């Protein structure tokens, strides 16, 4: 393990693992930390959209998804009053469905194979600050000891509740919308296909995807934390009541714990600070409905790694400012789209209007699914 790495990466989810891989491949001394013990589960819909898959392919990191993932040919979207649109991704493009436990472990292995030093079970408390600059991290080492790690540059990829982004006042949960997610794995679900499913209802939505091993992922997103103290009952109740899932989940059984997360949305005002770059959900999270968080995580990690490399080579004086500008240029349009979708599902009249629109002009939904799937940025 390097005493002082060139770059400390906190969080070994997709954003952290991808950034660490790119940097380690370029000969940078990278130290990667995560509070969890890997392999670990992560509440997610478990789908890589076509844009995410293409990015991983370009990095030579799509092996696990290609080999072990189930193909996703598009999305089945249902709304009120029997509105149903089956939207196939264009030109034979596909995504993949794969448990995050497996995907994240594979991406982490690639980072370690590239030369990154990895420690799991290490909870970072926050940034180590000197003269207003992030110079590494303060963490709780094994046995509860408080330890500091020095690093000239830190990439915080520690997810939605980033200790760096919140700790430095860069992030906050917006007052509205506030949503919570409940997710679990089921066996014995009927009628699964190669289409991911999004069932949009007033005040909630349900995502379902077939997974390897005969499992299904089901995620419920709701606008109030009511009932999430008993998440298994809340999720089972929603699946049993919804016309799109009731019969198909009638004989299903839970295949693991049900987990919750929220409030979901995080607004971030800058993608870094002196000595710090943010990547993945740590750099902001809009809503899971568009199913593209992994594309932001991978693409954002690529940008953060580029900023770090140029800075280490002495060619970029202010990597945080550069990263912020690059992210805005790369993501602004998609952020706008995602915020519009988020707003739409928050307003019952808009859900009703969209359901009517879906019946009258299904092409609109097909275009939205293609855009959400990042098919144009490959």
Ligand X SMILES: Cc1cc2nc3c(=O)[nH]c(=O)nc-3n(C[C@H](O)[C@H](O)[C@H](O)COP(=O)(O)OP(=O)(O)OC[C@H]3O[C@@H](n4cnc5c(N)ncnc54)[C@H](O)[C@@H]3O)c2cc1C
Alpha helices (H) in the chain, listed in sequence order: 14-25, 50-58, 63-68, 100-113, 163-167, 231-241, 293-312, 319-346, 348-360, 362-372
Distance of alpha carbon 64 from alpha carbon 118, whole angstroms: 20
Cβ distance to ligand X smaller for residue 48 or 83: 48
292 binds ligand X (CB under 6 A): yes
Least distance to ligand X from the beta carbon of 288, Å?
Answer: 4
For ligand X, which stretch binds (CB under 6 A), given 57-65, 147-155, 290-298, 332-340? 290-298
**Count of residues in contact with ligand X, rule CB under 6 A:** 40
Using a CB cutoff of 8 Å and minimum separation of 24, what contacts does 81-88 make?
81/352, 81/355, 81/356, 81/359, 82/359, 83/355, 83/356, 83/358, 83/359, 84/358, 85/358, 85/362, 85/365, 85/366, 85/369, 86/195, 87/362, 87/365, 87/366, 87/368, 87/369, 87/370, 88/195, 88/366
352 binds ligand X (CB under 6 A): no
Cross-strand bridge partners of residue 267: 172
156 binds ligand X (CB under 6 A): no
Cβ distance to ligand X smaller for residue 41 or 202: 41
33 binds ligand X (CB under 6 A): yes
11 binds ligand X (CB under 6 A): yes
Q: Are 369 and 84 a contacting pair, CB within 8 Å?
A: no
Distance of alpha carbon 92 from alpha carbon 6, whole angstroms: 42
Among 22, 24, 30, 43, binds ligand X (CB under 6 A): 43
For ligand X, which stretch binds (CB under 6 A), given 12-20, 167-175, 187-195, 268-276? 12-20
Least distance to ligand X from the beta carbon of 360, Å?
Answer: 28
Cross-strand bridge partners of residue 186: 216, 254
- φ and ψ at residue 93, rounded to 5 degrees: -70, 150
8 binds ligand X (CB under 6 A): no
127 binds ligand X (CB under 6 A): no
Best CA proximity match to 334, nearest among 290, 268, 279: 290
Among 5, 16, 136, 272, binds ligand X (CB under 6 A): 16
124 binds ligand X (CB under 6 A): yes
Among 9, 44, 116, 218, binds ligand X (CB under 6 A): 44
For ligand X, which stretch binds (CB under 6 A), given 11-19, 54-62, 77-85, 343-351? 11-19
Best CA proximity match to 372, nearest among 347, 335, 346, 345: 335
Q: Taking CB under 6 A as the rule, which mask of x and - marks residues 166-185 in contact with ligand X?
A: ---------------x-x--
Cβ distance to ligand X smaller for residue 6 or 104: 104
Distance of alpha carbon 22 from alpha carbon 56, whole angstroms: 12
234 binds ligand X (CB under 6 A): no
286 binds ligand X (CB under 6 A): no
Residues lying near ligand X in the complex (CB under 6 A) are found at 10-16, 33-36, 42-47, 49, 52, 123-124, 157-159, 163, 181, 183, 219, 261, 264, 280-282, 288, 291-295, 297
């Amino acid at each position: 393990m390097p005493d002082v790495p060139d770059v400390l990466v906190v969080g070994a989810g997709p954003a952290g693992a991808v950034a660490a891989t790119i940097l380690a491949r370029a000969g940078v001394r990278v130290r990667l930390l995560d509070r969890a013990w890997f392999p670990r589960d992560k509440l997610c819909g478990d789908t890589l959209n076509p844009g995410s898959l293409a990015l991983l392919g370009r990095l030579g990191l799509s092996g696990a998804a290609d080999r072990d993932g189930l193909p996703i040919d598009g999305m089945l979207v249902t709304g009120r009053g029997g509105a149903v649109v089956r939207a196939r991704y264009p030109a034979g493009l596909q995504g993949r469905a794969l448990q995050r436990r497996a995907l994240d472990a594979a991406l982490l292995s690639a980072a370690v194979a590239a030369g990154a030093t990895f420690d799991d079970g290490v909870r970072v408390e926050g940034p180590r600050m000197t003269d207003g600059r992030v110079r590494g991290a303060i963490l709780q080492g094994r046995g509860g000891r408080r330890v500091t790690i020095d690093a000239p540059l830190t990439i915080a990829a520690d997810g939605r509740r980033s200790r760096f982004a919140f700790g430095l006042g860069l992030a906050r949960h917006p007052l509205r919308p506030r949503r919570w997610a409940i997710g679990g794995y089921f066996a014995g679900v009927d009628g699964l296909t190669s289409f991911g499913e999004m069932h949009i209802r007033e005040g909630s939505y349900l995502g379902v995807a077939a997974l390897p091993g005969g499992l299904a992922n089901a995620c419920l997103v709701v606008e109030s934390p009511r009932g999430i103290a008993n998440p298994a009952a809340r999720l089972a109740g929603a699946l049993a009541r919804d016309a799109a899932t009731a019969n198909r989940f009638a004989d299903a059984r839970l295949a693991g714990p049900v987990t919750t997360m929220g409030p979901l949305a995080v607004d971030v005002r800058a993608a870094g600070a002196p000595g710090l770059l943010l990547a993945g959900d740590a750099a902001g999270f809009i809503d899971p409905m568009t199913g593209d968080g992994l594309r932001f995580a991978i693409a954002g990690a690529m940008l953060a790694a580029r900023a770090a490399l140029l800075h280490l080579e002495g060619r970029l004086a202010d990597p945080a400012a550069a990263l912020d500008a690059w992210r805005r240029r790369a993501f602004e349009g998609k952020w706008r789209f995602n915020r519009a979708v988020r707003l739409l599902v928050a307003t019952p009249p808009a859900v009703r209007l969209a359901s009517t629109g879906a019946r009258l002009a299904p092409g609109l939904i097909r275009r939205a699914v293609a855009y959400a799937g990042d098919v144009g940025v490959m």
